[in-house]
Amino acid sequence: MDSHTYPVTRTDAEWRARLTPEQYAVMRNHGTERPGSCALLHEKRAGTFSCVGCDQPLFESKLKFESGTGWPSFNDPVPGSVETTVDRSYGMVRTECHCARCGSHLGHVFEDGPPPTSLRYCINGVALKFEPAA
């Protein structure tokens, strides 16, 4: 992770105890889950998607859309919940998004989404947990 200090911090051992091996690989080591592998890809109920690492609400289901990429996609995050950095890995320049509360890697944001924002937050489903609306 970067040198930025987040409101929620944990030791490496605490992260490993909290997360599954796949979640740890994605969220703490900037990995990517296999496309189409997450059940949340098909979640269509009203509710909120939160960070597995710290429970921060990240995305509302009303802004989720089917992008055809194999990862859950959203137009916009809950205000203040997601921060971005420049990702220069794999010989390309992308915009990485991470949880503003714990710094966990979530995915990337692209400028090829539908209106009104034209943004596509392409998020690893293993980084999310879903809470249906009451």
Residue 7 CA to chain centroid, in angstroms? 17
Residues 6+ apart with CB under 8 A from 98: 82, 83, 84, 85, 104, 105, 106
Terminal CA-CA length for the chain: 35
Is residue 51 annotated as part of the catalytic site, yes or no?
Answer: no
Determine which one of 38, 51, 99, 122 is catalytic.
Answer: 122
How many helices (H) and strands (E) in the chain? Answer: 2, 9
Residue 90 CA to chain centroid, in angstroms? 19
Q: Which residues are annotated as catalytic?
A: 122
